[in-house]
Structure 1
Amino acid sequence: MLALNIASSAAALPGRARSVFRKTAKAAVAACLALAVLQPQAAAAQQTYVVGSDRGGYLHDRLIELKNLKRSGTRVEIRGRVCYSTCTMFLGLPGACVDPNTTFGFHGPSRSGRRLAQEKFDYFSRVMADFYPEPLKVWFMAEGRNRISGIYKIKGSEIIRMGVKACRSA
């Protein structure tokens, strides 16, 4: 419909004006198409993913989820009662925020609660730690990762003191 309106408007103009009009119209259509392509990305950037109580899961699955959230620009708010294990990796997403009352639970990588071979243990510890702010990363690599059975619990208020921003009150 837009193209038909542009074509009929251009036909009514004299020679040089018609040429300028067509070029301007083409640029306007291109700009509209570019905006149409960018709008879904902008809308996704405005979306918020609220993490409720989450006790973790498989590292591989969480890495895919984190990659998709980061790519889409979705903002993450960690607001559940608990965020344990791989859930804590949400802390590494740009703009992630934390409820000060959420309890975070940390432990080292394992296979169904059994310790991994040292090389794999070190590798997967680094993968996890790379999602933490620096003070938490240092603590995790020195101490937190060494607990395989059970978890170290840290309140959201302490995570906020380590550099992750607090979520606004809901």
Structure 2
Amino acid sequence: MTLFNAPRGARNTVQRVFHKSILLAAFVSGIASANAVLALDIRNDMGGVVSQRMAKVEQLRAAGTRVRILGTCVSACTLYLGLPNTCVSRTAKLGFHGPSTRLQGIPLPRQEFERVSRQMAAYYPSQIRGWFMSEARMRTGSYYTISGAQAIAMGARPCTEA
């Protein structure tokens, strides 16, 4: 006897159990997805537009995403340091410079340079923030490179090396 030629009551019972099983599986899957720890590993990020990266950082903050800076992280990438779930590998390389226009050799107007510098600095641990505002932001044609170990000594959270 198959489900289709079973008595109507038995068929309804099997269908109810099947539907409840599907609902339970969907519920458990939803819980697993909601509790999943999202992670982003940075290995070679050369930065980008500061305002776009700030928006990305805020999306990651809202999602509770864990960020691990494991390799090269330059320019706007360093804004990830502002996330509570960001850690830095001792062997990582971080590059810092001040805000600039996308056009080589054309600086931002002074007032805009100050405003964007302060916005960027707000994402850094306090010691990195102070260094950035007094020194690193003054470089715009290239960048200062520090190791992950130096960033950690300046207040970045270390990754637990596996």
Q: TM-score under structure 2 normalisation? A: 0.77
Deviations 1:27-58 (A, max 9, x none): xxxxxx8x987654322xx1211111111111
Residue type at the aligned position of 1:103: K
**Contact map agreement 1:108 1:145 (CA 8 A) in 2:** yes
After superposition, residues 109-148 of structure 1 pair within 5 angstroms as: 109-112=99-102, 113=104, 114-148=106-140
Between stretches 121-130 and 56-65, larger displacement belongs to 56-65
Q: What is the aligned length?
A: 138
Unaligned runs of at least 5 residues, structure 2 = 1-15, 21-26
Across the aligned residues of Structure 1 and Structure 2, the Cα RMSD in angstroms comes to 2.0
Give the match for residue 87 of structure 2.
Answer: 97
After superposition, residues 46-125 of structure 1 pair within 5 angstroms as: 46-80=37-71, 82-112=72-102, 113=104, 114-125=106-117
Residue type at the aligned position of 1:107: H
- Percent identical across equivalent pairs? 36
- Return the offset for 1:108: 0.4
**Contact map agreement 1:51 1:76 (CA 8 A) in 2:** yes
Unaligned runs of at least 5 residues, structure 1 = 6-32
- Structure with the higher fraction of residues in helix conformation: 1
Deviations 1:68-109 (A, max 9, x none): 1110001110011x1110011111101210011111111100
Distance 2:31 2:127 in 1: 37
SS at match of 2:44: coil
Distance 2:111 2:56 in 1: 25
Distance 1:118 1:142 in 2: 15
Q: TM-score under structure 1 normalisation? A: 0.74
The answer on 1:156 being equivalent to 2:158 is no
Between stretches 52-61 and 117-126, larger displacement belongs to 52-61
